[in-house]
Amino acid sequence: MQPISNQDTYWKDKLPVDYEDMIKWSKYDLQCETTEDLYNTFCRGFSLNDGEQWFSIDRDGKKCVTVSAREALEEDKWKWTYLAESRFEEVADYFNLPKFGILCKFRSKLLSPQTTYGVYLVYKLSEGYRHVNPPPVLVADKGSHPKEVHNIFLRTPQTPVISYTAKNKALNPSNMPKMEDLPKERSDGWMEVQVHKFQTRPNIKMVSARLSLSSYDMGFQGLTVQCLEFRPV
């Protein structure tokens, strides 16, 4: 990259202060003629860690990281396949089992400090999965003490939500699903749902997510996972 001139100060201020480290961590050539070009490259994003991570910034200059399914999923109960519309080389197809785990860890410098992040499961459902009204999925944060749990939906329920707690009591209004617990369709055609939220802390070297996702009365057959995305909320 050419030296930054005074006229490029505006674009430099939009980049992370340690943007040069991000460039060094990428194995791809990120040479840009201007700082504006470099900023646009960071907004589009680029690959890290031998293609298993994708780094980018949002419009506010906050860092975002996407981790491939191969690197994010804990259990070895997946069928790994190629899908042309995936950002990563492999996606994970799940078999009819009631539970799977998420375990991923990366350098804290890939996220902005003192920032609240949402963690999103990026996935697709098969045609057969869409024609049922599945129960919620229980998400447990195995890294919290005591263990924090909440429900999410991989498909927006078409009928009134029924409680799936241990006591099997009807949900009261305070327990109704929140917007972040419901899936949304992304601009790239995939679905996403927030599975975790946290704030980055100072003086830590690594960020990790340790989650367990459990189906109440059916497996995850028909679920295809592309990645886990960390972005500011």
In a domain, 192, yes or no: yes
pLDDT digits (tens, 9 = 90+) for 32-72: 888 999 999 999 999 999 999 999 999 889 999 999 999 99
Provide the pLDDT confidence category of residue 173 given band limits of 50, 70 and 90: very low
Q: How many Å apart are CA 42 and CA 36, to the nearest integer? A: 10
pLDDT digits (tens, 9 = 90+) for 9-39: 889 999 999 999 988 888 777 778 889 999 9
Higher pLDDT, 69 or 131: 69
In a domain, 93, yes or no: yes
Domain CATH code at residue 90: 2.60.120.260
In a domain, 54, yes or no: no
List b or e across 95-127, with b for residues whose CB sees 16 or more CB atoms inside 10 angstroms.
eeeeebbbbbebbbbbbbeeeebbbbbbbbbee
In a domain, 18, yes or no: no
In a domain, 56, yes or no: no
pLDDT digits (tens, 9 = 90+) for 179-233: 778 999 999 999 999 999 999 988 889 999 999 999 877 678 889 999 999 999 9
Give the CA distances from residue 138 to residues 101, 141, 174, 196, in Å, rounded to whole numbers and listed in that order: 11, 10, 17, 12
In a domain, 38, yes or no: no
Indicate the pTM of the whole model: 0.87
Q: How many domains does the chain have?
A: 1
Q: How many Å apart are CA 223 and CA 94, to the nearest integer? A: 6
In a domain, 217, yes or no: yes
Write out the residue range of the structural domain in which residue 86 sits.
69-232
Does the pLDDT at position 166 exceed 90? no
In a domain, 31, yes or no: no
